[in-house]
């Protein structure tokens, strides 16, 4: 059929509808419709569409469609498939209140509208509707018309609902206006507070800087950086060696005293004075810039960027009064150290160090059975280290272990046995990457993924270099070797070792009591607000950022506002600085409560001695971690009076450390076992039961 024939058929179809339309033109048509007008236009002028009609009646199209069928309203389909209502029958219906109400009776209601109008909870409304024989999903207007406080007509219901919604909308608009006003006021207050905090930021530049000199010892591990810096400290005759770990401070303490240089030890938990000593080996948080002496060594300068502890490195570097400072770090920290020195206008000189023994990545991976002596085997969890220890000992190897939760004394004894050749393999976490004297021929990565506190990720170039750099014993090895126990892992290690490590960009700072006193709210709110404001002077924002205060905030939340007020802000801040972790927070809280009540703080829980199994080992480590909190508190003048059992706790901690060392020495079975059948689980197994038990279940 051609187009002309189609047009003729359509015109005939429209013409057949003229009689159904009647002669009445729609009320909303202004201009007259002549008999010469197109037939379809004549039909449209005399009818209302379904959408148009439902708008006039104020109901949904589906409601009108259903009511049309039930009430036999005049309607027809046009050639385009559109439902049409003749004006001559529809307009009287639309103007008849009874008919409008009858049609509206089919309107489906929203349960939310009924709840809001009746001010009822969902359960109460549903109960009422069930009594009427309907549900919230099927209720229509005629079911509830005139019920409860509802009106008799749908028009009144709509007005009532529109009034409610308008009131709600106005209330929402008012809330938004108030919220915007609060935000504006909050921004103004934050700006004023930030400016006050910036004004209080430490002034690192002063005239005394002209008499200071920083020597930056830059190089990879095993390049003689620490040796050269210590020689300068010996020559100066007074000052500090600042370490990231108690273990490293102990090592330098012994090293200097063995060399005839008197040196005291100061850590968060312990002070060992040496008569006539003018040098102190300390953990860096214990440094007192006022008594800097003639020379200060700051080790592991990459820790400037550490989110949790970096503030201590920044403070030591920027507030030291010593005429001579030696800062030791990898190449990735050089730019940051230079920028900080320039910011404080301290003259500096870069001393570059090269590795004393070359290092390379192996061409092949090693199996556990074929690991050579003098190998450090690296895993990244405590349990992974202990599993590997048991596995290697069953292969007839002698093993040392080093991991973070081991007491420093035990780590040192374990490391010394390996360094002295008493053990063949040292299984360790990345704790070996920082300062430990662990000379090895080979560093072998058993794992290449680690949990960084937020997510499990693959090792970065800086981590591979820092840990792998322990390979190569100066004077013993011709070259250090880095490898893995998996050929696929070896490819990643090689790529990371060859890649350029990411350059460190920002050092960290932490709040002082004076800073927090400017901020309203309780201690957790003050700490959170201080971190959020990032109140760093404009000229330093490119290199300084705030520390991660998450653990301190969590501890502060455990104390009430009244308790913090009783302690005083300075003491409260000192208290939340205690060396806790998630597992020891409950013990810390017991200590805090006793301090608040004026009683002696409780001694740490007794360790399970002798250590028989892995569970005993973990329990002893927990007891030592609690003892560390006790000893740390005892070293603070604010809390010293509540720690009269210091000597007892110190001795207990020493005995517990020895028991761990003895247990590890006696080849304690520390393998992880299936909780169902007791079978030893593979080292990389991620679950608590073995595959056989899982599939059996």
Counted domains in the chain: 4
> Same domain for 225 and 272?
yes
Cα-based torsion angle of the residue sequence 36, 40, 46, 51 in order, rounded to the nearest 10 degrees = -150
pLDDT value of residue 34 = 67
> Same domain for 61 and 77?
yes
Whether 630 contacts 586, CB under 8 Å: no
Cα-based torsion angle of the residue sequence 445, 447, 452, 454 in order, rounded to the nearest 10 degrees = 170
Is residue 683 pLDDT above 70, yes or no?
no
Whether 319 contacts 202, CB under 8 Å: yes
Whether 434 contacts 245, CB under 8 Å: yes
Confidence band of 684 (pLDDT split at 50, 70, 90) = low
> Same domain for 212 and 348?
yes
pLDDT 10s digits, 614-645: 888 889 989 999 999 999 999 999 999 999 99
Whether 474 contacts 357, CB under 8 Å: yes
pLDDT value of residue 670 = 67
Considering the domain boundaries, does residue 683 fall inside one?
A: no
> Same domain for 211 and 231?
yes
**In angstroms, how far is the first alpha carbon of the chain from the final one?**
72
Considering the domain boundaries, does residue 475 fall inside one?
A: yes
Q: Last residue of some domain: 352, 368, 402?
A: 352
pLDDT value of residue 237 = 93
Per the listing, tokens 């200071």 go with: 212
Q: What percentage of residues in the chain have a pLDDT greater than 90?
A: 46
Confidence band of 137 (pLDDT split at 50, 70, 90) = confident
Distance CA 425, CA 39 (A): 99
> Same domain for 383 and 483?
yes
> Same domain for 411 and 443?
yes
pLDDT 10s digits, 276-294: 999 999 999 999 998 999 9
Whether 614 contacts 631, CB under 8 Å: no
What range defines the domain where residue 488 resides? 359-504
> Same domain for 241 and 328?
yes
Distance CA 576, CA 559 (A): 10
Least confident of 229-238, 346-355, 470-479: 470-479
> Same domain for 379 and 403?
yes
> Same domain for 216 and 281?
yes
> Same domain for 305 and 438?
no
> Same domain for 405 and 463?
yes
CB atoms within 10 A of CB 642: 20
> Same domain for 423 and 494?
yes
Assign residue 261 a region (left: φ > 0; alpha: ψ between -120 and 50; beta: otherwise). beta
């Amino acid at each position: 059929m051609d187009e002309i024939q189609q047009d003729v058929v359509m015109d005939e179809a429209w013409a057949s509808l003229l009689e159904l339309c009647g002669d009445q033109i729609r009320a909303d048509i202004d201009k007259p419709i002549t008999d010469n007008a197109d037939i379809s236009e004549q039909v449209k002028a005399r009818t209302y569409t379904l959408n148009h009609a439902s708008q006039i009646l104020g109901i949904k199209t589906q409601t009108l469609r259903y009511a049309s069928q039930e009430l036999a309203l005049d309607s027809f389909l046009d050639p385009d498939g559109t439902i049409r209502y003749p004006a001559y029958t529809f307009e009287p219906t639309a103007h008849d209140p009874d008919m409008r109400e009858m049609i509206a009776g089919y309107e489906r209601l929203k349960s939310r509208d009924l709840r809001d109008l009746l001010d009822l909870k969902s359960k109460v409304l549903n109960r009422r509707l069930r009594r009427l024989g309907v549900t919230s999903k099927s209720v229509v207007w005629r079911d509830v018309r005139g019920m409860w406080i509802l009106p008799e007509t749908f028009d009144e219901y709509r007005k009532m609902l529109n009034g409610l919604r308008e009131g709600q909308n106005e209330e929402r608009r008012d809330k938004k206006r108030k919220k915007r006003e609060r935000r504006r006021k909050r921004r103004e207050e934050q700006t004023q507070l930030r400016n006050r905090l910036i004004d209080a930021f430490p002034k690192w530049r002063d005239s005394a800087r002209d008499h200071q000199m920083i020597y930056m010892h830059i190089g990879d591990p095993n390049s003689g950086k620490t040796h050269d810096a210590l020689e300068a400290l010996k020559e100066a005759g007074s000052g500090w060696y600042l370490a990231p770990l108690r273990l490293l401070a102990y090592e330098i303490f012994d090293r200097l005293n063995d060399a005839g240089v008197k040196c005291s030890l100061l850590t968060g938990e312990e002070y060992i004075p040496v008569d006539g000593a003018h040098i102190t080996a300390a953990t860096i948080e214990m440094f007192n810039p006022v008594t800097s002496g003639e020379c200060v060594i700051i080790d592991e300068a990459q820790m400037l960027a550490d989110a949790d502890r970096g503030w201590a490195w920044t403070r030591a570097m920027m507030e030291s009064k010593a005429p001579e400072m030696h800062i030791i770090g990898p190449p990735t920290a050089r730019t940051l150290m230079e920028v900080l020195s320039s910011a404080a206008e301290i003259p500096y000189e870069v001393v570059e160090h090269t590795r004393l023994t070359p290092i390379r990545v192996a061409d092949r991976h090693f199996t556990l059975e074929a690991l050579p002596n003098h190998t450090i085997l690296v895993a990244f969890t405590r349990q992974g280290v202990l599993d590997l220890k048991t596995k290697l000992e069953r292969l007839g190897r002698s093993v040392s272990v080093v991991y973070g939760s081991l007491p420093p004394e035990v780590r040192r004894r374990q490391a010394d046995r390996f360094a002295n050749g008493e053990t063949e393999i040292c299984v360790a976490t990345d704790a070996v990457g920082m300062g430990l004297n662990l000379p090895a021929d080979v560093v072998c990565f058993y794992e290449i993924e680690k949990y960084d506190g937020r997510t499990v990720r693959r090792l970065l170039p800086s981590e591979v270099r820092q840990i792998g750099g322990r390979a190569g014993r100066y004077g013993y090895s011709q070259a250090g070797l880095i490898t893995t126990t998996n050929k696929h892992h070896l490819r990643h290690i090689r790529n990371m070792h060859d890649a350029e490590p990411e350059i460190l960009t920002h050092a960290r700072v932490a709040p002082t009591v004076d800073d927090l006193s400017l901020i309203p709210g309780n201690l957790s709110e003050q700490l959170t607000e201080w971190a959020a404001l990032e109140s760093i002077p404009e000229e330093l924002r490119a290199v300084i950022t705030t520390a991660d205060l998450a653990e301190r905030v969590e501890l502060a939340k455990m104390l009430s506002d009244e308790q913090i007020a009783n302690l005083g802000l300075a003491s409260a801040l000192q208290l939340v600085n205690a060396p806790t972790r998630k597992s020891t927070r409950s013990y810390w809280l017991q200590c805090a409560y006793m301090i608040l009540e004026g009683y002696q703080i409780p001694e740490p829980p007794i360790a399970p001695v002798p250590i028989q199994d892995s569970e005993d080992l973990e329990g002893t480590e927990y007891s030592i971690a609690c003892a560390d909190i006790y000893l740390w508190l005892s070293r603070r003048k604010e809390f010293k009076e509540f720690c009269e059992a210091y000597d007892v706790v110190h001795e207990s901690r020493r005995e517990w450390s020895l028991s761990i060392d003895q247990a590890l020495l006696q080849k304690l079975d520390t393998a992880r076992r299936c909780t169902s059948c007791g079978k030893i689980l593979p080292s990389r197994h991620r679950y608590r039961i073995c595959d056989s038990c899982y599939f059996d279940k």
